[in-house]
């Protein structure tokens, strides 16, 4: 083999190597490390969550709504593949109208509960911050019950466990808290239970599976071809009115 032929062969080998490297890099860009979490909330039902450096994805199984919170974590994106609709809203003004309607009918909301951190607790492999309602809040609830200002299932003593050590942006907690109608802690909620003013023990939020995984980065992207919705409820507009109400009421 002469020098010219050898140089050409080396050039072809290097070109093939760089092409293979570029393809491998492109493939790795499509895969992200994530944490998969399954939660059940009394208001919205079963939810699948994915946390990653690309953002947060929360899928509500009952309504088949997907919520995205992507960097810089300033906007909530909610879409339904069934209706082909997408709703976008600044995180600072977002409220989950489905959960809010439930709390209004039940004559109580957990969002206003005043909490204090009381220590730490373990749940599985998670090391969590433990919150409880303040004595002032609990006393006020009993006064409000006596004055017939709230329903008997309203919270009296509440215990909330939240994660502060997950390797993801804590601003993701804002979306989860607002979808579930929870008190603000700024941490990822893992468990919520409370005793009502009438003494009933109520489990409001549980977390099942919590495992690291690899995901397709496309899961954290906004699908193309969706039509804008003016309000969140429009994302379910392919349903008839009775069906939409049933979905909102988790029937």
Q: What is the pLDDT of residue 20?
A: 39
Q: What are the extents of the domains in the chain?
A: 31-248
In tens digits, the chain (251 residues) has pLDDT values of 544 443 444 344 334 433 433 333 333 468 889 999 999 998 889 999 999 999 999 999 999 999 999 999 999 999 999 999 999 999 999 988 766 545 554 556 788 899 999 999 998 888 999 999 999 999 999 998 999 888 888 899 999 999 999 999 999 999 999 999 899 999 999 999 999 999 999 999 999 989 999 999 999 999 999 999 999 999 988 655 445 545 554 44
Cα gap 152→98, rounded to integer Å: 22
Cα gap 50→211, rounded to integer Å: 10
The CATH class of 31-248 is mainly beta
Collapsing DSSP to helix, strand or coil, 160 comes out as strand
- Cβ proximity of 51 and 209 under 8 Å: no
Q: What is the pLDDT of residue 43?
A: 84
CA distances in angstroms from 105 to 19, 139, 152, 204, 248, listed in the order given: 61, 23, 13, 16, 12
The pTM is what? 0.80
Number of residues written out for the chain? 251
Collapsing DSSP to helix, strand or coil, 109 comes out as coil
Q: Where are the alpha helices (DSSP H) in 66-223?
A: 97-106, 135-146, 172-180
Find all residues with CB under 8 Å of 8, minimum gap 6, and list them.
Answer: none
Q: What is the pLDDT of residue 23?
A: 37
Burial class from Cβ neighbours inside 10 Å (0-12, 13-18, 19+) for residue 91 reads: middle
- Six token digits for residue 238: 């392919």
Q: How many CA atoms lie within 13 A of 137 on its CB side?
A: 18
């Amino acid at each position: 083999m002469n020098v010219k032929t050898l140089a050409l062969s080396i050039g072809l080998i290097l070109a093939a190597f760089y092409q293979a490297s570029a393809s491998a890099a492109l493939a790795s860009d499509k895969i992200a490390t994530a944490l998969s979490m399954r939660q059940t909330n009394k208001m919205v039902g079963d939810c699948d969550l994915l946390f990653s450096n690309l953002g947060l994805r929360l899928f509500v199984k009952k309504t088949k709504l997907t919520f995205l919170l992507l960097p810089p974590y300033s906007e909530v994106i909610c879409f339904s593949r069934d209706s082909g609709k997408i709703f976008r809203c600044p995180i600072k003004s977002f409220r989950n109208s489905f959960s809010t309607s439930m709390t209004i009918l039940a004559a109580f909301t957990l969002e206003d509960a005043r909490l204090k951190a009381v220590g730490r607790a373990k749940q599985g492999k998670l090391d969590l911050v433990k919150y409880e309602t303040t004595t002032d809040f609990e006393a006020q609830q009993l006064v409000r019950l006596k004055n017939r200002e709230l329903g008997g299932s309203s919270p009296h003593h509440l215990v909330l466990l939240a994660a502060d050590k997950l390797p993801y942006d804590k601003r993701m907690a804002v979306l989860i808290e607002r979808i579930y109608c929870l008190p603000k802690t700024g941490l990822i909620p893992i468990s919520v239970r409370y005793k009502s003013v009438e003494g009933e023990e109520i489990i409001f939020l549980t977390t099942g599976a919590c495992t690291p995984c690899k995901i397709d980065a496309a899961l954290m992207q906004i699908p193309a071809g969706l039509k804008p919705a003016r309000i969140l409820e429009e994302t379910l507009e392919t349903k008839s009115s009775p069906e939409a109400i049933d979905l909102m009421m988790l029937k």
